[in-house]
Structure 1
């Protein structure tokens, strides 16, 4: 069941992601990070202290705050603050916020000041294409002779 869900997620398009709820988005991110060599753990939904995923690779621990919205809402400073607060609790050296939308300038400024990585819609699409499992669609080229 999990393998099928992960395969479906890896073959998704950004428009499919826009329809996910927060919990589904967290699980959508799991195979993307695993393809990058991370061991992933989804935290419990309540009382997660601002970390939705815990990533481990080469002895380093990172936390991810996942924000998925169906509308054009921008992600503000609160998401970055949650990551900064969760770093010590999870004994993580890195933190990031991943979203299917974009960040406010204030969130970008706070993230830069606290060394928190921000993955916005454009970067998420890049990751999806790099690590996804999309079938190759053949282009049909018609050669017309005059």
Structure 2
């Protein structure tokens, strides 16, 4: 699982580790003083309780930001959305984007090419993230976007789902776009149903180059 965080933010797990380290350091310090000075049981009890109280107080000042899962089923990646506008989106590395941010980037790409895209996305999208029309012939296209790590191949089930979503949205063509690659079975099925597929290389070549040029114009 991959988690994107800000420079001054830590996850809950890291916070727990930091608090544990602080607790044991304080506990060692206070117990050492009790043993060396041969103090009574009241001081021993205080030595056990004081580190816990101090650690809890210190923990209040350790910032935490929860990871928000914006990816679709099977993506195996969790992200925190931090991009607030399209300029930041164009500037960001594609591999750092969340699922919804990647969908937005693909939407902007095709919109710039005149495809009149419409973002669908979300739960119950029937495997379709974008529906758009080809400006050259008016053909309606169902698009699925997967911002996955390159080692997570798109499987046959994902291709089948998009093919079914095509019918639901009344589209004639389909396009599957991923930042990873496809399994042999997925490629076979995509070819059988005439589905266009873009892998990591296609995305970098087409969307990556467009993104850089677009950002330069806006800068």
TM-score by length of 1: 0.79
Aligned pair 1:54/2:131, yes or no? Answer: yes
How far does residue 72 in structure 1 lie from its aligned partner after superposition? 1.7
2:159 corresponds to which residue?
A: 80
Structure 1: how far apart are the matches of 2:89 and 2:114?
Answer: 17
2:38 corresponds to which residue?
A: none
Counterpart mapping for 1:120-131 below 5 A: 120-131=199-210
How far does residue 135 in structure 1 lie from its aligned partner after superposition? 3.8
How far does residue 9 in structure 1 lie from its aligned partner after superposition? 2.9
2:31 corresponds to which residue?
A: none
How far does residue 130 in structure 1 lie from its aligned partner after superposition? 4.0
**CA RMSD of the aligned region, Å?**
2.0
Aligned pair 1:102/2:215, yes or no? Answer: no
TM-score by length of 2: 0.55
How far does residue 8 in structure 1 lie from its aligned partner after superposition? 3.1
CA contact (8 A) 1:66 1:99 kept: yes
1:73-130 deviation digits (Å, cap 9, x = unpaired): 1111112101110111111011011001111111111000001110000000111244
Q: Quick check: 90-99 or 126-135, which moved more? A: 126-135
Structure 2: how far apart are the matches of 1:71 and 1:61?
Answer: 29
For the pair shown, the structure with the greater C-alpha radius of gyration is: 2
Instruction: From the two aligned structures, give the one with the greater helix fraction.
Output: 2
Selected match of 1:26 from 103, 118, 126: 103
Corresponding residue pairs, total: 130
Change over 3 Å in CA distance of 1:124–1:44 after alignment to 2: closer
Q: Identify the structure with bigger relative contact order (alpha carbons < 8 Å, sequence gap 6+).
A: 1
Selected match of 1:9 from 82, 89, 97: 89
Instruction: From the two aligned structures, give the one with the greater strand fraction.
Output: 1
Structure 1: how far apart are the matches of 2:90 and 2:96?
Answer: 15
Unaligned stretches of 5+ residues in structure 1: 137-146
Structure 2: how far apart are the matches of 1:64 and 1:44?
Answer: 10
How far does residue 71 in structure 1 lie from its aligned partner after superposition? 5.5
Unaligned stretches of 5+ residues in structure 2: 1-83
CA contact (8 A) 1:10 1:31 kept: no
